Chains A and B, each alone.
Chain A
Amino acid sequence: MKKAWMSFWVCLMIMGSLFANGSGEKGKTASPKFKIAVATIFEGENWEIQKSYYEHELGPTLNMEFMFSEKLSDANGLVDFMEKAYAAGCQGTISYVTSNDAVAQGARKAEEWGMYFITQNSALNKTVAGLSHNLGHCGASATGMGDAYADAFGKLLSDGKNHSVYIFSGAAVGGAIGQGAASHYYSVYGMLSAMQKRYNLTYSQSIDAIINNQNPGEVKTGNANVKIYIYPGLDIPGAIKSAQSQFQSGDYDIFAAVFNYSSFANALSGVESSLNKDIKIIGTASIEAQTATGFSTLDPTGDTILNAAVINPLNVANGICASIMYNALTGHADAMRDNGSAVLFKVNPWACSGADVYKGISKLDKSHETYVLNSEDLKKLLCVNDPGVTFKTMEKKLLELADVNAILAAKS
């Protein structure tokens, strides 16, 4: 009995502290804020950096408050969260759940409730492009990713020798049709295209078919001196074992990872020591301490662990999406659409060929002054400040942001 009462009071105390801390009506401002739901697929440091940008830069600038979801993985999770967000009074949803089905379901639900909806992904879903509350998509540009990787590869392949590549393709399978991760798909597409162009390779299948093979294996390149091995999936321990085994054969000398390249560092260092051979590592990265470490730490052969990276400017997409959402909520939704149809806004990643280049990039996205899109930049994208702003303005801005040197010059 005593235990039951104690438990009851503990329950009450927990609920009380939650309601005391919960900021349902916290921080009342003079004008009501727009409440925006953010449906995320991320966890970890990357996401905390983005959340900080949402809360400390986007929120105050655009008079928005954000409701963040737990890590979601599919259409069902997105719909669940959107329902809760709608019940909580959210007026818009920024979704990171990229599958076609999730986009379709989310856009339809949003249309039903009169919520605005925008997705961070790289493919336009034509079936729901005509819905009036669908503000389109903003994500890594397919060609941009491909070009960035081609650029990164190009420098490594430009020595005139034959090179063989081991690719950890992550969630690339199904990426083109919005099932896996589109950025992973387009990264691998870029790598395979770069290799094909450089060595005049003749693949036995289309690049799309090669990427969508869910079994790991060697790609038939038509050139015995140039090998390509692809390991798909998210099983990092398995991929590490496979990579180590393949590199130990001496056949491969470049390792490319669409994510989590650092997990392979120790295994590949072991191979480098054993074979006394340098292995080049290229990876998709973001502006964080780990990337700086990769460019500054030396491997057993005296080279940096990370040789080249494709940097995804995560907060660029966040800033653009929030601005588009703000414009829609202030009555300018039509300006953000192309003749009544949703638009795909393309974010171009930055190719980083070495530590020197990264030194400059690493200063970005740390604070108000160094955010690629800070409050001053964001205000120029708002229709309330400039009635001439349309979706073309956003596209133009994104093109400008593809040049990282120009950004660094502007921020310095």
Chain B
Amino acid sequence: MNAKKLKNVLYTIAFPLAVYAVMELLCFCVRDRHVLSSMLDVQTIIRDTGSSAMIAFGLSLNLSSGRYDLSLGAQRLAGTIIGGVLALQLGLSGIWFLVFALLFGLLFGFLTGLAFVITRVPPMVLGVGIGLVWECFPYKISQGKGLNLFGVTGMEVINNTSFTIAVVIIVAAFIYILSNMTKFGYQMKAIQGSQLISQNSGINIFRHAVICYTLAGGLVCLAGMIDTVFTTQLTSSLGLASSGPINKNMFPMMLGGFIGIWTNQSIGVIVASLCVNLLSYGLITLELSEANSSVVNSVLFVLFLVFLANRYVLKNKRMEQERIALAKKRRRELAEMTAGACIW
């Protein structure tokens, strides 16, 4: 491994290590406890990181192109509950729940994407309207019960940490290959640069948007099912309350994009999810109330956004000052040369 690659790897690992170190110090000093005190904690954090990373991947597919889909939470609810209820009624178990959740997630994502390209309404606005509709489906189909997996046998495989890691690796690899080794990925980067120019240069931005929405729907439902299997239930909700778990994962998504500078987006998102989950774990260990933890998370997110938007400001200012200094120096030299020529 050459020096540059090693440096990149070290920078990437530094983030979760730094978060862990800070939280461990705080927890030890304040509560005399460790952030992670057993293998169970490690397994839980792996599961939470995996789920968080998948939602962050789903968000990034649209958000990086400037589309914030407010209906993603509703799609997660609808796909997970309907897929799970159907699998239960068919007497299936284990991995079939994931498959059904994925299929229904893809379906709801596809329909949302189709609605977007047909109506061409701003995604946030479309998300509100279509989210209200999607939330009704699981409520009606499950008769208000949502998805209850308490006591359902054969789900151990999904609860297994190794399985979660495998799913996350597959998803991360898929996103990496899609973003970096396919035409889709190149088109995505072009559209992120300028949608208009991409369209004029022949990229089918409509088909691209539909594919992004479809994949995002599938990913969030995968995460939804993994979470539901562990907590044994997912209740239907109305009033767009389903967008909470999605909004919580914006921070890992944005942080992942930043960390990905040193490696790639896929690894960056996973590392960022780990950082945010370590932070959450630490705040729980510090025995902060739910509201206070949320305030801490939100403030850190705002500070990070400010940093992200302004990280080149100082450098640009410095470069501008150097340029001005160089220009002044050059003008002085020219003036001296001219004065010298006059004397001659």
Contacts and interface: CB of A to CB of B under 8 A. Distances in A.
- Contact between chain A and chain B defined by CB under 8 Å: yes
A265 interface: yes
Interface string B24-44: 000000000000011111011
Interface in A209-257: 214-217, 232-238, 240-242, 244-245, 248-249
A263 B289 contact: no
A235 B294 CA distance: 11
Contact of A241 (B139, B236, B237, B284): B284
A317 B292 CA distance: 36
B143 interface: yes
Nearest to A215: B289
A208 to B, nearest CB: 18
Given A70-B238, A216-B287, A263 B232 contact: yes
B233 A263 contact: yes
Contacts of B39: 274
Contacts of A244: 40-41, 44
A242 B159 CA distance: 18
B154 interface: no
Contacts of A260: 233
A72 to B, nearest CB: 11
A45 B144 CA distance: 5
Contact of A235 (B40, B236, B290): B290
Contact of B289 (A232, A248, A296): A232
B231 A240 contact: yes
Given A43-B235, A70-B238, A70-B239, A238 B293 contact: yes
B91 interface: no
A205 interface: no
B17 interface: no
Interface in B146-178: 146, 148, 150-151, 159
B41 A245 contact: yes
A296 B39 CA distance: 29
B230 A44 contact: no
A47 B287 contact: no
Given A216-B287, A290-B150, A245 B37 contact: yes
A293 interface: yes
A188 B194 CA distance: 58
Interface in A240-295: 240-242, 244-245, 248-249, 260, 262-263, 265-267, 270-271, 274, 289-290, 293-294
Interface of B: 37-41, 43-44, 48, 139, 143-146, 148, 150-151, 159, 229-233, 235-239, 280-281, 284-285, 287-293
23 contacts: A43-B139, A44-B146, A70-B238, A70-B239, A214-B291, A215-B287, A215-B288, A217-B287, A233-B290, A236-B231, A240-B44, A244-B40, A245-B38, A245-B285, A248-B37, A262-B232, A263-B231, A265-B150, A265-B232, A271-B40, A290-B148, A293-B151, A297-B150
Given A70-B238, A71-B239, A238-B293, 19 more contacts: A43-B238, A44-B235, A45-B146, A47-B144, A48-B143, A216-B284, A238-B280, A244-B44, A245-B37, A245-B284, A248-B37, A262-B148, A263-B232, A267-B230, A270-B43, A274-B39, A274-B40, A293-B151, A297-B150
